[in-house]
Amino acid sequence: MRGPGIDREHPIGGQMSDVLRGTLARARLGYLTERYDSVVVLSVFSLINGFISIALMALAAVVTRAPFVFPSLGPTAFLFFYTPLAATAAPRNALIGHLIGAVAGYLALVVFGLTDAGPAVTTGVTLPRVLAAGLSLGLTSGVMVLCRAPHPPAGATTLIISLGILTQPWQLGVLMLAVLLLTLQAFAINRLAGVPYPVWAPRAQP
């Protein structure tokens, strides 16, 4: 496995090229990268993969009438397939990071008495809401570092909650289930492509 540097095999960096080549090889479509510009093929692959990832969550949301789709899933999905070998994309970091973000966001709502308030986009941004957002993001960042589980999209998760978009405990449970499903999809696709995506913790870097 080549490193993540930008070179002929990795024209946009990361390991997405490795995921693409492995996937095309499995589908016996390897000739596409020889016939067409590699960056264009990567772009199309990213488009299709991103669509499938979120479409599955959207389908689950329609069937269950639960909020399986939320904004921070997007950057998590991108990390899973752009840099699957990075520590931030490991299952441990993704699941623990989003869990920290969810708990910190809800704790901020409780501290400032906003659990029954409407979302900031409809009720307006008040001083308690500003303080809740600041507290949630600060707690998320600090605890992720303390737990050695950095996952940047978790910063969006905590703001989704502290800004009042998701406020019910059952919604937070659905949120974590959505992260788990996306993580399982990342494991399946990366391993199918031949990329040594970790089962849990990040792989040790040389």
Sign of CA dihedral 15, 20, 21, 26: positive
The tens digit of pLDDT for each residue in 15-63 reads: 999 999 999 999 988 888 888 988 999 999 999 999 998 898 889 889 8
Specify the pTM: 0.92
Write down the mean pLDDT value for the chain. Answer: 92
Confidence of residue 205 (pLDDT cuts 50, 70, 90): low
By the 8 A CB rule, do 154 and 72 touch?
yes
The tens digit of pLDDT for each residue in 71-83 reads: 999 999 999 999 9
Question: In this structure, what DSSP letter does residue 13 have?
Answer: S
What residue spans define the domains of the chain?
16-192
From first CA to last CA, the distance across the chain in angstroms is 13
Sign of CA dihedral 71, 199, 15, 147: positive
Q: For residue 105, give Cα distances in angstroms to 13, 77, 161, 171, 179.
A: 33, 21, 5, 12, 16
Per-residue pLDDT, 38? 86
